[in-house]
Amino acid sequence: GYEDRSVAGTSQSVTGLTAGTTYYFRVRAVGAGACVSGNSATQSVTTTGGLPAWYEDWADGYSMDPYGPDGGMDDDYDGDGTPNIDEYTAGTNPTDEDSEFTVLNPLFMSATQYSLTVSAITDRIYSVYYKTSLTNGLPWSLFKAWTNLPAGQRDLILTNSAVFQLYRFGVQLQ
């Protein structure tokens, strides 16, 4: 049904709406002497609930409802253990449980130089972290980060004089 609301100007804020719900609005003018216009054409608006437009667009591109079951940023649409927002960040397919972020072609170029290939996405930070032991309780330390990489296959070169280190690779939004 419709709810009448008096407006004393040319705009009106409407609060208390439910996220992901379509609402319909129409207006009419009331002038001096009880002069009333006819109703305008009905306009519809769907509330977004605060998700960023880029996330809604990305989810729509995979036919996911960002407000439906398993479509939210922290949900896991394909059940692979990776939240949808991490799938977005890594550039993987949130509807395919076999789609995963992979470092391709690790290559030892010399005793102190390594090459890693990634499928880069713009507006990301690609980082390599290192440790000398998994059992010493120390946190991972940043070894090197790359920003503003063009999209596509990119070779990342690591140069290190240490004899032994463990590495971890990460990607995050810029």
Calpha distance 142→167 (Å, rounded): 10
Residues 112 and 86 in one domain: no
pLDDT higher than threshold 90 for residue 140? yes
Helix %, strand %, coil % of the chain (to 5): 10, 30, 55
Is 82 in the same domain as 115?
no
- Separation CA 167–CA 133 (nearest Å): 10
Q: Is residue 23 part of a domain?
A: no
Q: Which two tokens stand for residue 143?
A: 């070894």
Query: How many domains, the chain?
Result: 2
Same domain, 120 and 163: yes
Distance CA 97, CA 78 (A): 5
pTM (2 d.p.): 0.66
108 and 86 together in one domain: no
CA distance 73 to 66: 7
Asked if residue 123 and residue 72 are part of one domain, the reply reads no
Please check whether residue 132 lies inside any domain of the structure. Answer: yes
Q: What is residue 154's predicted lDDT score, i.e. its pLDDT?
A: 93
Q: Show the domain range for 77.
A: 53-90
Q: State the virtual CA torsion across 109, 114, 115, 120 in degrees, nearest 10.
A: 180
Query: Is residue 163 pLDDT above 90, yes or no?
Result: no
Q: Considering the chain, what is the average pLDDT of its residues?
A: 89
Residues 108 and 81 in one domain: no
Give the tokens for residue 168: 């971890």
Decide if 131 is inside a domain. yes
**pLDDT score recorded for residue 150:** 94
Q: Is 20 helix (H, G, I), strand (E, B) or coil?
A: coil
**Which region among 22-31, 121-130, 136-145, 148-157 has the lowest average model confidence (pLDDT)?**
22-31
Residue that is last in its domain, among 90, 115, 141:
90
* pLDDT confidence tier of residue 161, bands split at 50, 70 and 90: low
CA–CA separation, 128 vs 145, rounded Å?
A: 6
Give the model confidence (pLDDT) of 64-102 as tens digits. 999 888 999 999 999 999 999 999 999 999 999 999 998
| Domain membership flag for residue 13 | no
123 & 75 share domain: no
Residue 113 belongs to a domain: yes
The alpha carbon of 105 is separated from its chain's Cα centroid by a whole number of angstroms, namely: 27
**Is position 64 within any domain?**
yes
pLDDT in tens, 7-17: 877 888 888 88
Pairing of strands 113-120, 124-131: unpaired
